[in-house]
Amino acid sequence: MLPLAHAPAWIVASVLLVAAVLYVSLAPLNVPADLPTHFDKLEHAAAYVFLAVWFTGLVARPRYWLVAVTLVVFGLMIEFLQATMPFGRQGDPWDVLANVTGIGIGLGLARWVTGGWALKVETWRSRS
Protein backbone atom coordinates (compact mmCIF):
# COMPACT_ATOMS: atom_id res chain seq x y z
CA MET A 1 0.00 0.00 0.00
CA LEU A 2 1.13 3.54 -0.66
CA PRO A 3 2.26 5.55 2.39
CA LEU A 4 -1.18 7.01 3.04
CA ALA A 5 -1.83 9.14 6.12
CA HIS A 6 -5.39 7.80 6.35
CA ALA A 7 -4.64 4.18 5.44
CA PRO A 8 -7.18 2.74 7.91
CA ALA A 9 -9.96 4.82 6.33
CA TRP A 10 -8.93 3.73 2.82
CA ILE A 11 -8.93 0.11 3.95
CA VAL A 12 -12.40 0.40 5.48
CA ALA A 13 -13.69 2.09 2.32
CA SER A 14 -12.13 -0.68 0.22
CA VAL A 15 -13.72 -3.43 2.31
CA LEU A 16 -17.11 -1.70 2.04
CA LEU A 17 -16.67 -1.35 -1.74
CA VAL A 18 -15.84 -5.04 -2.16
CA ALA A 19 -18.75 -6.00 0.12
CA ALA A 20 -21.12 -3.84 -1.94
CA VAL A 21 -19.98 -5.43 -5.21
CA LEU A 22 -20.31 -8.88 -3.67
CA TYR A 23 -23.81 -8.12 -2.38
CA VAL A 24 -25.01 -6.64 -5.68
CA SER A 25 -23.54 -9.60 -7.54
CA LEU A 26 -25.16 -12.25 -5.33
CA ALA A 27 -28.46 -10.68 -4.25
CA PRO A 28 -31.59 -12.20 -5.77
CA LEU A 29 -31.97 -10.91 -9.29
CA ASN A 30 -34.74 -8.50 -10.24
CA VAL A 31 -33.97 -7.32 -13.77
CA PRO A 32 -36.13 -4.55 -15.23
CA ALA A 33 -37.66 -5.73 -18.48
CA ASP A 34 -36.76 -2.55 -20.39
CA LEU A 35 -32.97 -2.98 -20.23
CA PRO A 36 -31.24 -3.73 -23.54
CA THR A 37 -29.98 -7.27 -24.12
CA HIS A 38 -26.51 -7.84 -22.66
CA PHE A 39 -26.58 -4.49 -20.84
CA ASP A 40 -25.21 -6.37 -17.84
CA LYS A 41 -21.90 -6.83 -19.67
CA LEU A 42 -21.46 -3.06 -19.71
CA GLU A 43 -22.30 -3.00 -16.00
CA HIS A 44 -19.69 -5.70 -15.33
CA ALA A 45 -17.01 -3.88 -17.29
CA ALA A 46 -17.81 -0.54 -15.62
CA ALA A 47 -17.75 -2.07 -12.13
CA TYR A 48 -14.36 -3.66 -12.74
CA VAL A 49 -12.95 -0.48 -14.29
CA PHE A 50 -13.96 1.26 -11.07
CA LEU A 51 -12.49 -1.49 -8.86
CA ALA A 52 -9.22 -1.49 -10.81
CA VAL A 53 -8.92 2.30 -10.65
CA TRP A 54 -9.80 2.27 -6.95
CA PHE A 55 -7.20 -0.31 -5.96
CA THR A 56 -4.45 0.99 -8.23
CA GLY A 57 -4.95 4.30 -6.45
CA LEU A 58 -3.94 2.64 -3.19
CA VAL A 59 -0.90 0.63 -4.26
CA ALA A 60 2.41 1.35 -5.96
CA ARG A 61 2.71 0.72 -9.71
CA PRO A 62 4.84 -2.44 -9.28
CA ARG A 63 1.83 -3.98 -7.47
CA TYR A 64 -0.70 -3.37 -10.27
CA TRP A 65 -0.29 -6.96 -11.41
CA LEU A 66 -1.48 -8.08 -7.96
CA VAL A 67 -4.56 -5.87 -8.25
CA ALA A 68 -5.31 -7.43 -11.65
CA VAL A 69 -4.90 -11.02 -10.45
CA THR A 70 -6.94 -10.40 -7.31
CA LEU A 71 -9.79 -8.81 -9.26
CA VAL A 72 -9.82 -11.64 -11.81
CA VAL A 73 -10.00 -14.20 -8.99
CA PHE A 74 -12.74 -12.13 -7.29
CA GLY A 75 -14.77 -12.04 -10.52
CA LEU A 76 -14.30 -15.79 -11.10
CA MET A 77 -15.36 -16.50 -7.52
CA ILE A 78 -18.53 -14.46 -7.97
CA GLU A 79 -19.40 -16.25 -11.22
CA PHE A 80 -18.81 -19.63 -9.55
CA LEU A 81 -21.05 -18.64 -6.62
CA GLN A 82 -23.74 -17.41 -9.02
CA ALA A 83 -23.63 -20.74 -10.86
CA THR A 84 -24.24 -22.64 -7.61
CA MET A 85 -26.96 -20.49 -6.04
CA PRO A 86 -30.71 -20.82 -6.52
CA PHE A 87 -31.67 -17.10 -6.50
CA GLY A 88 -32.10 -16.48 -10.22
CA ARG A 89 -28.41 -15.91 -10.79
CA GLN A 90 -26.25 -17.90 -13.15
CA GLY A 91 -22.56 -17.98 -13.90
CA ASP A 92 -21.67 -16.62 -17.31
CA PRO A 93 -18.28 -16.81 -19.04
CA TRP A 94 -19.19 -13.64 -20.95
CA ASP A 95 -19.44 -11.85 -17.59
CA VAL A 96 -15.90 -13.00 -16.83
CA LEU A 97 -14.75 -11.57 -20.17
CA ALA A 98 -16.52 -8.27 -19.39
CA ASN A 99 -14.83 -8.22 -15.95
CA VAL A 100 -11.39 -8.83 -17.45
CA THR A 101 -12.01 -6.16 -20.08
CA GLY A 102 -12.93 -3.71 -17.33
CA ILE A 103 -9.82 -4.64 -15.36
CA GLY A 104 -7.66 -4.04 -18.44
CA ILE A 105 -9.24 -0.64 -19.06
CA GLY A 106 -8.85 0.27 -15.38
CA LEU A 107 -5.18 -0.72 -15.39
CA GLY A 108 -4.63 1.30 -18.56
CA LEU A 109 -6.23 4.32 -16.93
CA ALA A 110 -4.10 3.80 -13.84
CA ARG A 111 -0.93 3.52 -15.89
CA TRP A 112 -1.50 6.80 -17.73
CA VAL A 113 -3.88 8.89 -15.63
CA THR A 114 -5.30 7.74 -12.31
CA GLY A 115 -2.54 5.69 -10.67
CA GLY A 116 -1.81 6.71 -7.09
CA TRP A 117 -4.89 8.92 -6.93
CA ALA A 118 -5.38 8.36 -3.17
CA LEU A 119 -1.99 9.85 -2.36
CA LYS A 120 -2.82 12.83 -4.59
CA VAL A 121 -6.14 13.28 -2.77
CA GLU A 122 -4.42 13.20 0.61
CA THR A 123 -1.79 15.69 -0.54
CA TRP A 124 -4.47 18.01 -1.91
CA ARG A 125 -6.55 17.72 1.30
CA SER A 126 -3.54 18.49 3.50
CA ARG A 127 -2.98 21.76 1.63
CA SER A 128 -6.53 22.99 2.22
Q: Look at residue 32 in the predicted model and tell me its pLDDT.
A: 62
116 vs 110: CA distance, rounded Å? 8
Per the CB < 8 A criterion, the answer to whether 58 and 122 are in contact is no
Query: What is the pLDDT, as a whole number, of residue 37?
Result: 77
The tens place of each residue's pLDDT in the chain, 128 residues long, gives: 999 999 999 999 999 999 999 999 999 877 666 768 788 999 999 999 999 999 999 999 999 999 999 999 999 999 999 999 987 788 999 999 999 999 999 999 999 999 999 999 999 999 97
Exposed e or buried b per residue across 11-32, where buried means at least 16 C-beta atoms within 10 angstroms of its C-beta: eeebeeebeebeeebeeeeeee
Q: What digits encode the pLDDT tens for the residues 7-16? A: 999 999 999 9
Question: ∠ CA(26), CA(77), CA(67), 5° rounding?
Answer: 110
* pLDDT computed for residue 33 by the predictor: 60
Model confidence, pTM? 0.94
